Amino acid sequence: MATRGGFGWLCVWYLCALLDVASLQGSGGMLYPRETSSREVKELTGVWSFRADMSANRNEGFDGAWYKSPLATTGPVLEMPVPASYNDITQDSMLRDFIGWVWYEREVQVPSRWVKDEGTRVVLRVGSAHYYSVVWVNGIQVAEHEGGHLPFEADIGGVIREDPTVPCRITIAVNNTLTLTSLPPGTITHMNDRTKYPGGYFVQNIFFDFFNYAGIHRPVLLYTTPKVYVDDITVFTDFADSTGLVKYKVSVKGASSANLKVTLMDKDGHCVATSSGPSGVLKVADVMLWWPYLMHDNPGYLYSMEVQLSASDGQSTFEDVYALPVGIRTVNVTRTQFLINNKPFYFHGVNKHEDSDIRGKGLDWPLIVKDFNLIKWLGANSFRTSHYPYAEEIMQMCDRHGIVVIDECPGVGIKDIRSFGNASLAHHLSVMDELVGRDKNHPSVVMWSVANEPAAEMPPADYYFSTLIKHTKMLDPSRPVTFITDSNYARDKGAPYVDVICVNSYFSWYHDPGHMEVIPIQLKTQFENWFGKYKKPIIQSEYGADAVPGLHSDPPMMFTEEYQKNVLQSYHSVFDEKRKQYVIGELIWNFADFMTAQGITRVVGNKKGIFTRQRQPKSAAFILRERYWRLANATGKLPPWTRYPCSL
Ligand code: BDP
């Protein structure tokens, strides 16, 4: 990507022409379900019936067709909240560590007007389920989806209209088994030594460092659209001087032609631009750009792009309305800088996990809002969705609050050479299609990350990553692409194709444990090697140390709060030197403590959080807070009300 400072109209139009917005579109639309004058939403959040298939081959549910009749008629059921991981809900360790199919079911009263009106589409949408899902409505299969972290849906109007007198029974079977071709990959080992293990004993091996939570993690809902409807919208934004440009494309389903009216409203509801037709450019005079938090006194400015459709199938007329939040901003990368709206942006942020007590990876509003409050308290301006796409609701919060996102796919733990084969690559490509399709319109998303710490030194990695990265750039030419490597410099296959080098390193932790004095020299060597070879800007995408809250020692020892604090400070002095050259960001590992598999290096989870899992600060949080606000003061434009120290 090239720097674009001082571009005039000519260049803007040239760029717009180069960037065919159509290429940002995935196979089908996955617009976030919103209520509008033509669409209704019914959330199916609450308690569902649940059963884990504990049979030896985990196939009893399919053999006994559990989807054909109410789940309670085929055996005992538990009450299970949706959304939530099922693992930590009961006292049963067998369920916490369960591998295989689990079955969810609930009945829904569908509003009769939805059923009666043949001109209404009724869509069932699952925000995410880990990892392989099959969905039935009244015993009829309506959807099948591979992969967690991303939504999928099915039009169920036909099924519920078959017999409007029966309530709508939704059954969802979810299998959390990870294989060599799933994302993340995993393997199953059957323990056949009867002197050591009971019959049929098997374990799931994973190559990543977070608990393999499973279940229905995000809201399940029903929503309606008219039969002719807005299926997808893609926007690409730019600006020249004080004029904003929103190049858009709308795809319509259900009719070969439709009349479209597109209106862009500002925050106060005033119309600032209009257009008609399935594609076009909205020009916004005196544009309010979308700026990151702490970079501007009015961050996260969003317009609302209202698309109104009307179409006729000869007998009836259909009208649909969809409102998409739009932030107008640009992103560019030079050899040494990351530019947002042509201004240098320095990432001072965090890596997160979707993880909390009891809920596991289940979407939880109090937690989401608390985390945003902590991010802002910390003075962080960004995070990376390590190691998988986060909930759409979180991405929307980022848009509104101006929190910049590096959006990562679940390509974590690709360590086995058999996971570099064609089937794995094909799945990885389609996950990128789904991710870009879902998140392409979020102004907060400034970069795609296709993988975390793959075994990129393996011979097939070059083909795998060149294909993956080229594909991602083809899907979205408007954003840079990266993959996250580690301090093992041999793992640089793929680096030639990325726009930004992201490096994770754990000096004085996994290497030279206890020797903080080596951090400055090793970190400098790391930066100089990568920049020397690739001449691309670098983000320190992970660094940190475990600290058990309340454990202290001076001089510092590993696992104490003092050690974590000192590790951070040793990194910071090198960052301060290199950020004047080509280091464009630092993301702490991790925002909060999180659960992992049990093992001899983890004491009830990973303790590298600067906050505990319950979101209380460790000493390191205060070090980081001071630093981030200092960086914000130095690199951003802070309005008086945000100047540190302040209470947010
Ligand atoms: C990094 C991984 C991250 C781990 C972290 C750690 O990217 O997922 O949790 O190490 O070990 O290499 O704490």
Instruction: Write down the pLDDT at residue 462.
Output: 93
**For the residues 27-31, what does the mean pLDDT come to?**
82
Considering 453, 542, 561, 586, which one is annotated as catalytic? 453
Residue 17 binned pLDDT confidence (cut-offs 50, 70, 90): very low
**For the residues 351-355, what does the mean pLDDT come to?**
98
Residue nearest to atom 5 of ligand 1 (CA): 209
> What is the Å distance from ligand 1's center to 209 Cα?
6
> What is the Å distance from ligand 1's center to 331 Cα?
28
> Which of the pair, 3 or 91, is modelled with greater confidence?
91
Instruction: Write down the pLDDT at residue 637.
Output: 64
Which tokens is 84 given?
A: 């939530």
Mutate to test the pocket of ligand 1, among 483, 542, 567, 591 (most ligand atoms within 8 A of CB): 542
Residue 647 binned pLDDT confidence (cut-offs 50, 70, 90): very low
Distance between CA 360 and CA 95 in Å, rounded? 13
Instruction: Write down the pLDDT at residue 2.
Output: 30
Phi-psi region of 334 (alpha: psi -120 to 50; beta: other; left: phi over 0): beta
Is 80 exceeded by the pLDDT of residue 13? no
Query: Which pLDDT tens digit goes with each residue over 244-303?
Result: 999 999 999 999 899 999 999 999 999 999 999 999 999 999 999 999 999 999 999 999
pTM of the model: 0.95
Number of Cα atoms under 13 Å in the Cβ half of residue 424: 28
511 close to 556: Cβ distance less than 8 angstroms = no
Instruction: Write down the pLDDT at residue 25.
Output: 39
540 close to 522: Cβ distance less than 8 angstroms = no
> Which of the pair, 641 or 592, is modelled with greater confidence?
592
> What is the Å distance from ligand 1's center to 452 Cα?
9
Residue nearest to atom 6 of ligand 1 (CA): 209
Tell me how far apart the terminal alpha carbons of the chain are, to the nearest angstrom: 37
Give how far the C-alpha of residue 126 lies from the chain's centroid of Cα atoms, to the nearest Å.
15
Q: Which atom of ligand 1 is nearest to the CA of 386?
A: 8
Q: Which atom of ligand 1 is nearest to the CA of 504?
A: 12
Q: Which atom of ligand 1 is nearest to the CA of 596?
A: 9
Instruction: Write down the pLDDT at residue 8.
Output: 35
> What is the Å distance from ligand 1's center to 231 Cα?
38
Which residue, 316, 331, 325, 248, is CA-closest to 282?
248
Q: Which atom of ligand 1 is nearest to the CA of 544?
A: 13
Residue nearest to atom 4 of ligand 1 (CA): 209
Q: Which atom of ligand 1 is nearest to the CA of 387?
A: 8
Which residue, 542, 566, 543, 548, is CA-closest to 602?
548
How many Å is the Cα radius of gyration of the chain?
25
Instruction: Write down the pLDDT at residue 493.
Output: 81
> What is the Å distance from ligand 1's center to 430 Cα?
25
Residue 6 binned pLDDT confidence (cut-offs 50, 70, 90): very low
Residue nearest to atom 8 of ligand 1 (CA): 209
Is 70 exceeded by the pLDDT of residue 463? yes
> What is the Å distance from ligand 1's center to 449 Cα?
16
Mutate to test the pocket of ligand 1, among 484, 589, 600, 606 (most ligand atoms within 8 A of CB): 589
DSSP result, 518-570 = GHHHHHHHHHHHHHHHH---EEEEE----B-TT---SS--TBSHHHHHHHHHH
Distances (CA, A) of 272 to 41, 266, 341, 472, 533: 28, 7, 20, 33, 47
Query: Which pLDDT tens digit goes with each residue over 306-325?
Result: 999 999 877 899 999 999 99
Flag the least confident range among 166-170, 362-366, 494-498: 494-498
| CB neighbour burial string for 466-479, b if at least 16 within 10 angstroms, e if fewer | eebbebbbebbbbb
Assess whether 354 carries a catalytic annotation: no
Residue nearest to atom 3 of ligand 1 (CA): 209
User: H-helix or E-strand containing 60?
Assistant: helix 60-63
Residue nearest to atom 11 of ligand 1 (CA): 209
- Residue 633 sits at φ, ψ, to 5 deg, of -65, -35
Indicate the DSSP class of residue 474. H
Is 70 exceeded by the pLDDT of residue 18? no
> What is the Å distance from ligand 1's center to 187 Cα?
20
Is 50 exceeded by the pLDDT of residue 538? yes
Residue nearest to atom 12 of ligand 1 (CA): 504
Q: Which atom of ligand 1 is nearest to the CA of 510?
A: 11
394 close to 356: Cβ distance less than 8 angstroms = no
Q: Is the dihedral of CA 62, 68, 74, 77 positive or negative?
A: positive
Residue nearest to atom 2 of ligand 1 (CA): 209
User: H-helix or E-strand containing 401?
Assistant: helix 392-401
> What is the Å distance from ligand 1's center to 147 Cα?
22
> What is the Å distance from ligand 1's center to 42 Cα?
38
Instruction: Write down the pLDDT at residue 492.
Output: 82
Residue 412 binned pLDDT confidence (cut-offs 50, 70, 90): very high
Distance between CA 250 and CA 305 in Å, rounded? 11
Residue 11 binned pLDDT confidence (cut-offs 50, 70, 90): very low
**For the residues 444-460, what does the mean pLDDT come to?**
95
Three-state DSSP class for residue 167: coil
Is 60 exceeded by the pLDDT of residue 123? yes
Q: What percentage of the chain carries pLDDT values higher than 70?
A: 94
> What is the Å distance from ligand 1's center to 476 Cα?
28
Is 80 exceeded by the pLDDT of residue 648? no
Mutate to test the pocket of ligand 1, among 485, 606, 607, 613 (most ligand atoms within 8 A of CB): 606
Query: Which pLDDT tens digit goes with each residue over 44-82?
Result: 999 999 999 999 999 999 999 999 999 999 999 999 999
Q: Which atom of ligand 1 is nearest to the CA of 594?
A: 9
Mutate to test the pocket of ligand 1, among 386, 504, 540 (most ligand atoms within 8 A of CB): 504
333 close to 499: Cβ distance less than 8 angstroms = yes
> Exposed, middle or buried by CB within 10 Å (0-12, 13-18, 19+), for 424?
buried
> What is the Å distance from ligand 1's center to 586 Cα?
15
Residue nearest to atom 9 of ligand 1 (CA): 209
Is 70 exceeded by the pLDDT of residue 646? no
Residue 222 binned pLDDT confidence (cut-offs 50, 70, 90): very high
Query: Which pLDDT tens digit goes with each residue over 472-516?
Result: 999 999 999 999 998 777 788 888 999 999 999 999 999 999 999
- Ligand 1 binding site (Cβ under 6 Å of any ligand atom): 209, 387, 452-453, 486, 504, 542, 589, 606, 608
Which residues 6+ apart lie within 8 Å of 525 measured at CB?
none
**For the residues 13-32, what does the mean pLDDT come to?**
53
Residue 5 binned pLDDT confidence (cut-offs 50, 70, 90): very low
Instruction: Write down the pLDDT at residue 634.
Output: 84
Residue nearest to atom 10 of ligand 1 (CA): 209
Mutate to test the pocket of ligand 1, among 207, 208, 209 (most ligand atoms within 8 A of CB): 209
